Structure 1
Amino acid sequence: MWEQVTMNFSFSQLWNPIFMAVTLLIIFFYLMYTGPWKNRFSNSEPVSVKKKVSFIVGIVMFYVGFGGPLYLIGHLMFSIHMIQMSVCYLMAPPLLLYGMPGWMIKPLLKSNSFTKPLKVLTKPLISLVLFNAVFSFYHFPLVFDYLMTNYTEHLIFQALLFMTAVIMWWPVICPIPEWDTMFGLKKVGYIFGNGILLTPACALIIFSESTLYSTYSNPETWSYALGLCLQLGGPVSPELYSQFVPLSPVDDQQLGGIIMKVVQEIVYGSVLGYVFFQWVRKERLKDDAEINQLLASTNRVK
């Protein structure tokens, strides 16, 4: 399939050089501000290599999903589109949040007009419902087909989805220690809740016996949506449909739902493991501190 893609689409259509250049600039400034230029921030601290790698991987995923080949190929097949969704909203946000040092974000929080809404939106119950509601709404067939065939509205909704994804991940991987108020079992329950709320949208797609989205089942609609993606101002040839869709529309649709659910389970399971072991580690440190304090008190009495 990759050979067919490269034969039919240009380098700029596949790789979006402007988006690539912006991504490289972001990586450059991130490395400079977390390295040689970090003293320009008050209370700056060294950033570990692990966090730097996390941010760079996250921003590369962001580029691949929104500006790289995955974005274009996601317009060819629904199953690839769901991989793109997984990369953009389940993988990139937690990596970016983990890699962002709190002291770099704090200057943004000096404005109450930014801080107050963020505090409200990142409350666990609100952030939990917000992302999953927006994600599920996006996959209503009428909404999905409308957005895929209206370029500006599609970009706006993608931005909304990404922002709600960041807000959803914020209570789990909060880059600002003072705001990280959810611990232990609460974080575990929060992650489980996300998995449950995302399930209905995936189940609707997986178990539907008919095609839900004309964007991926109607060659005319497919070619028009692809033309918008390529910013051609019109549809591409509908004859390309048979070349790039080797599966039946129903099979492609069901595969997409399965991919989304499996990736979600892997991502949430990995984060769940990280949160659980962090919790156990903190409890052990707390117990050790209490034991040392008790021993010190006993020695003073003696």
Structure 2
Amino acid sequence: MLEIILDEFHPSTMWNGGIFIYISFVLIIYFLLLPPSKNHSLKKSIVFILGLLAIFASLGSPINVIARIMYSSHIIQLVLLFFVAPPLLIYGFKYEIIERWKKNETFAYMLKIVTNPWVALVTFYVLFYSYHIPAVFNSVRLDLFANYFAMIVLFIAAILLFHPLLLNTSLSDKTKWTYALLNILLIVPYSVVLIVADSGIYALYTDVRLFMSSIMVCLPDADLMTPEFFRALMPFDPVMEQLRGGILLLIAQVVIFTTVGFLGRKRK
């Protein structure tokens, strides 16, 4: 059913050329402009590229459009952008430029504050839960620029969230495992809400008028389409989609933070 629906969309709608250009620009900076870091291996460069591919899959591929039709795909989008891409980018980044900037006391002080584990943890989950308040979510998703701004802010917060696990050498293994466990526990309330809800939480997936407005953000010629077309895009049970999304989010959180916690432990 979904394949038939997506056939109605133009390739330029399904694939975001703007995101591709931005990612290409980042790759140019990464390989040609950033000074090489000590012990920077080919493996790290490949991991960094995988992180960029995760961003493109989230924001530039058909997942971005499908996420406005199926809530479970919205969760896939968030997992890729906030929980898969950040640790990959952190692991593969060239840190020589950061080390140079650290010589500036103001920059070093600000970096120490924003990468504090408690600050990073609280900041991300306050933003994450705020974004998913139904009234906020329904409003932000109807404005292309507001939605991308929210995604960028949350993505930066996600980068800071993974910093203590992968880069903070002053934390003990026990502290890092506690931090990873807290990340898993903090996503549980939202996952539980999605799993046990017996009705659609977000009107964007249940109200035809709001659904139309949400899809129109992605379609350059949406004004030429009839309401019947948009109704045909809503064959998915919102309760089942929320259930799938909640389970997926919880499993992804457990797998990702367990894996990153293992990789971030101190080598003996």
Aligned to 1:292: none
Question: Does 2:265 align with 1:272?
Answer: no
> Which 10-residue stretch deviates more, 20-29 or 128-137?
20-29
Aligned to 1:73: 66
Q: CA deviation at 1:272?
A: 2.6
Q: For 1:184, give the aligned amino acid.
A: D
Distance in 2 (alpha carbons) for counterparts of 1:206 and 1:62: 26
Q: CA deviation at 1:2?
A: 5.8
Say which of 73, 84, 100 aligns to 2:77: 84
What per-residue deviation string (whole Å, max 9, x for no partner) do you get for residues 269-302 of structure 1?
2223323xx43x32xxxxxxxxxxxxxxxxxxxx
Q: For 1:17, give the aligned amino acid.
A: G
> Which 10-residue stretch deviates more, 110-119 or 182-191?
110-119
State whether residues 224 and 236 of structure 1, in contact with CA within 8 Å, keep that contact through their aligned partners in structure 2: no
Question: Does 2:262 align with 1:262?
Answer: no
Task: Please give the secondary structure, in 1, of the residue aligned with 2:165.
Answer: coil
State whether residues 225 and 235 of structure 1, in contact with CA within 8 Å, keep that contact through their aligned partners in structure 2: no
Q: CA deviation at 1:245?
A: 3.8
What aligned pairs does 1:11-50 form with structure 2 within 5 A after superposition? Answer: 11-33=11-33, 38=36, 44-50=37-43
Tell me which structure has the larger Cα radius of gyration: 1
Aligned to 1:136: 129
Question: Does 2:208 align with 1:208?
Answer: no
Classify 1:53/1:217 alpha carbon distance in 2 versus 1 (closer, same or farther; 3 Å).
same
What aligned pairs does 1:43-122 form with structure 2 within 5 A after superposition? Answer: 44-122=37-115
TM-score normalised per structure 2: 0.90
State whether residues 79 and 252 of structure 1, in contact with CA within 8 Å, keep that contact through their aligned partners in structure 2: yes
What aligned pairs does 1:151-300 form with structure 2 within 5 A after superposition? Answer: 151-174=144-167, 180-230=169-219, 237-275=226-264, 278-279=265-266, 281-282=267-268
Q: For 1:220, give the aligned amino acid.
A: R
What per-residue deviation string (whole Å, max 9, x for no partner) do you get for residues 69-118 of structure 1?
21111111111011000000000001000001221333444555544333
Classify 1:152/1:29 alpha carbon distance in 2 versus 1 (closer, same or farther; 3 Å).
closer
Distance in 1 (alpha carbons) for counterparts of 2:105 and 2:5: 48
Classify 1:222/1:196 alpha carbon distance in 2 versus 1 (closer, same or farther; 3 Å).
same
What per-residue deviation string (whole Å, max 9, x for no partner) do you get for residues 197-238 of structure 1?
111111112111111100011121111011113355869544
Distance in 2 (alpha carbons) for counterparts of 1:94 and 1:70: 21
Question: Does 2:4 align with 1:4?
Answer: yes
State whether residues 228 and 234 of structure 1, in contact with CA within 8 Å, keep that contact through their aligned partners in structure 2: no
What per-residue deviation string (whole Å, max 9, x for no partner) do you get for residues 22-51 of structure 1?
3233224423457xx63xxxxx42421221
Distance in 1 (alpha carbons) for counterparts of 2:104 and 2:149: 25
Q: Structure 2 unaligned segments of length 5 or more: list them.
A: none
Q: Structure 1 unaligned segments of length 5 or more: list them.
A: 39-43, 283-302
State whether residues 227 and 234 of structure 1, in contact with CA within 8 Å, keep that contact through their aligned partners in structure 2: yes
Q: For 1:247, give the aligned amino acid.
A: F
> Which 10-residue stretch deviates more, 81-90 or 240-249?
240-249
State whether residues 82 and 155 of structure 2, in contact with CA within 8 Å, keep that contact through their aligned partners in structure 1: yes
* Same amino acid, percent of matched pairs: 27
State whether residues 191 and 247 of structure 2, in contact with CA within 8 Å, keep that contact through their aligned partners in structure 1: yes
Q: For 1:196, give the aligned amino acid.
A: L
Task: Please give the secondary structure, in 2, of the residue aligned with 1:229.
Answer: coil
Distance in 1 (alpha carbons) for counterparts of 2:88 and 2:221: 33
Distance in 1 (alpha carbons) for counterparts of 2:234 and 2:65: 14
Highest RCO, 1 vs 2 (Cα 8 Å, sep ≥ 6): 2
Q: CA deviation at 1:243?
A: 3.6
Aligned to 1:124: 117
Distance in 1 (alpha carbons) for counterparts of 2:19 and 2:105: 31
Classify 1:184/1:274 alpha carbon distance in 2 versus 1 (closer, same or farther; 3 Å).
same
What per-residue deviation string (whole Å, max 9, x for no partner) do you get for residues 233-285 of structure 1?
8695443344434431111122111111111111112223323xx43x32xxx
Cα RMSD for the two superposed structures? 2.3
